């Protein structure tokens, strides 16, 4: 046992430590079945315990990687045999729900879906939502500034966090547990930690905004023959639904066919249309909301923009529509990308990407889907070839953004995976300021070293 593991065991007791040997029985992440490598995993039961873990690691020059549900897509939570892992799985309580202010205080190890279900029991909606909801943690979602399917209406994690508590590399506890919407008292320190992927501090507790639980929910899957028709429908639904449109997910035919092929979820609409959209609106008046929703869809059909549609009539039918978007494992393996760019440039981008992939090799293809109202596209590039040509594929996907005002990461973050490409989306001055911040908060480079920036 290394010195630092012995000191951590003496301080916290053996029950709080998972040994290197036992860690190798666990997968590296949701995406990577290789064994987890680390000196040990430590499971603090409180902020004070985490602070003492960090003080010990600081004194030993020990690197630390924070892990949540290990669902992150850019290898941000991956550790090496030289690291100590900190997991907040024991700090998973929903401490309080203030129903007058619509605010909850949550420990960072709580699973997203558990939080959603708990606050729903109090009549509230926690709107950040995406396919990994059953495994990812609030701390991981804060650290990656996760987005998902409701960003259009409620924003990303950054928009719903009011305050947080974080432990720095040297064990200092920064408690910035603001509970108000308004608090202009100098620099907004919580924003430093949101989206910093565990490189500036370990988030332990979070104050989040809650929203009234919608009474009505109307969902549709429809098909369009052109991207112009898709964007027209987005505009019409945004205006016609007076701000209650909460999701507008677009799937290109290539993605839809791939996911609904044998073994995947059943196809709610026949294959072969160029574009499929899942739109969802949430409101407060079931009868009037459904009538308005259907009237807008009828207008879409009369204009010819919508060429086929299915309206789920039960939660089970709604789930089967959403499964096409979320249960994409059957379409893997592939390189998964997450880029953002203005809607006006998306068609150009996808056409350019298809051409450059074919110019590279004739069996290369892309499957595209995404939260287009947020300017966010996800792309599967195939063939995967066991990861053999990752860099070439990255270069093509990111290179095609050139001149289109895009970003190499919309919502997944940078981690290790996108670090070499960060300079395509950030200026030299911005990167220097990021490095200065890292040096200030973590001068020994102990927190999640090698992630986001060098």
Ligand X SMILES: Cc1cc2nc3c(=O)[nH]c(=O)nc-3n(C[C@H](O)[C@H](O)[C@H](O)COP(=O)(O)OP(=O)(O)OC[C@H]3O[C@@H](n4cnc5c(N)ncnc54)[C@H](O)[C@@H]3O)c2cc1C
* Site residues (vs ligand X, CB under 6 A): 30, 65-73, 76-77, 88, 108, 130-132, 136-137, 139-141, 143-144, 146-148, 197-198, 202-203, 411-412, 415, 448, 451
Taking the least distance from each CB to ligand X, the nearer of 305 and 374 is 374
Of 90 and 356, which has the nearer Cβ to ligand X?
Answer: 90
Of the two residues 132 and 373, which places its CB atom closer to ligand X in the complex? 132
Least separation in angstroms between CB 286 and ligand X: 27
**Rg of the Cα atoms in the chain:** 23
Question: How far, in whole angstroms, is CA 316 from its chain's centroid?
Answer: 25
The Cβ-side half-sphere exposure at 362, using a 13 Å CA radius, reads 0
Q: Which is nearer to ligand X, 293 or 322 (CB)?
A: 322
216 versus 323: smaller Cβ distance to ligand X: 323
CB 299 to ligand X: min, Å:
30
Shortest reach from residue 129's CB to ligand X, in Å: 8
- Secondary structure of the chain as H, E, C letters: CCHHHHHHHHHHCHHHEEEHHHHCCCEEECCEEEECCCCEEECCCCHHHHHHHHHHHHHCCCCEEEECCCCCCCCCCCCCCCCEEEECCCCCCEEEEECCCCEEEEECCCEHHHHHHHHHHCCEECCCECCCCCCCEHHHHHHCCCCECCHHHHCCHHHHEEEEEEECCCCCEEEECCCCCCCCCCCCCHHHHCCCCCCCCEEEEEEEECEECCCEEEEEEEEECCHHHHHHHHHHHHHHCCCCEEEEEEEEHHHHHHHCCCCCCCCCCCCCCCEEEEEEEEECCHHHHHHHHHHHHHHHHHHCCCCEEECCCCHHHHHHHHHHHHCCHHHCCCEEEEEECCHHHHHHHHHHHHHHHHHHCCCCEEEEEEEHHHCEEEEEEECCHHHCCHHHHHHHHHHCCCCCCCECCCCCCCCCCCHHHHHHCCCHHHHHHHHHHHHHHCCCCCECCCCCCC
Minimum CB separation of residue 427 from ligand X in Å reads 23
On whether the CB atoms of residues 368 and 252 are closer than 8 A, the answer is yes
Q: Of 343 and 416, which CB lies nearer to ligand X in the complex structure?
A: 416
**296 versus 409: smaller Cβ distance to ligand X:** 409
CB nearer ligand X, residue 198 or residue 214: 198
Rounded to an integer, what distance in angstroms lies between the CA atom of residue 105 and that of residue 177? 9
Residue closer to ligand X by CB (options 68, 300) is 68
- Name which of 255 and 273 has its Cβ closer to ligand X: 255
Report which of 71, 77, 26 is spatially closest to residue 326, judged by C-alpha positions. Answer: 71
CB of 140 to ligand X, least distance (A): 2
Supply the minimum distance, in Å, between the C-beta of residue 24 and ligand X.
18
Residue 309 beta carbon to ligand X: minimum distance, rounded to whole angstroms: 24
């Amino acid at each position: 046992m290394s010195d630092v593991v012995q000191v951590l065991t003496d301080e916290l007791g053996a029950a709080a430590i998972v040994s290197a040997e036992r860690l190798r029985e666990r997968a590296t992440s949701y995406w990577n079945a290789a064994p987890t490598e680390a000196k040990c995993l430590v499971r603090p039961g409180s902020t004070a315990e985490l602070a003492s873990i960090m003080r010990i690691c600081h004194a030993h020059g020990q690197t630390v990687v924070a892990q949540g549900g290990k669902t992150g897509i850019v290898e941000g939570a991956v550790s090496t045999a030289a690291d100590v892992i900190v997991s907040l799985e024991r700090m998973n309580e929903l401490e309080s729900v203030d129903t007058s202010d619509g605010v909850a205080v949550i420990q960072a190890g709580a699973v997203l879906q558990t939080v959603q279900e708990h606050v729903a029991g109090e009549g509230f909606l926690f709107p950040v939502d995406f396919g990994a909801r059953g495994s990812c943690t609030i701390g991981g979602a804060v650290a990656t500034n996760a987005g998902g399917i409701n960003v259009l209406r409620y924003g990303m994690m950054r928009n719903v966090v009011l305050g947080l508590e974080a432990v720095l590399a040297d064990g200092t506890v920064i408690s910035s547990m603001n509970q108000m919407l308004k608090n202009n008292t100098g620099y907004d320190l919580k924003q430093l930690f949101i989206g910093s992927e565990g490189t500036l501090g370990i988030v332990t507790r979070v104050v989040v905004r809650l929203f009234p639980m919608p009474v009505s929910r109307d969902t549709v899957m429809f098909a369009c023959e052109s991207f112009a028709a898709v964007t027209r429908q987005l505009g019409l639904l945004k205006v016609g639904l007076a701000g209650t449109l909460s999701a507008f997910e677009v799937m290109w035919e290539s993605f839809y066919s791939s996911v609904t092929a044998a073994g995947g979820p059943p196809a709610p609409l026949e294959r072969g249309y160029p574009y499929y959209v899942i739109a969802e609106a949430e409101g407060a008046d079931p009868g009037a909301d459904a009538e308005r929703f259907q009237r807008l869809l009828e207008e879409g059909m009369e204009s010819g923009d919508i060429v086929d549609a299915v309206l789920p009539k039960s939660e089970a039918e709604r789930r089967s529509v959403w499964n096409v978007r979320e249960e994409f494992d059957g379409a893997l393996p592939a390189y998964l990308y997450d880029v953002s760019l203005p809607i006006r440039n998306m068609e150009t981008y996808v056409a350019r990407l298809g051409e450059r992939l074919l110019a590279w090799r004739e069996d290369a293809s892309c499957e595209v889907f995404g939260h287009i109202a947020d300017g966010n596209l996800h792309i599967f590039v195939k063939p995967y070839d066991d990861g053999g040509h990752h860099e070439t594929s990255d270069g093509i996907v990111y290179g095609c953004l050139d001149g289109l005002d895009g970003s190499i990461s919309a919502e997944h973050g940078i981690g290790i995976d996108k670090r070499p490409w960060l300079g395509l989306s950030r200026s030299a001055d911005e990167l220097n300021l990021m490095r200065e911040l890292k040096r200030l908060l973590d001068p020994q480079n102990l927190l999640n070293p090698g992630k986001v920036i060098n």
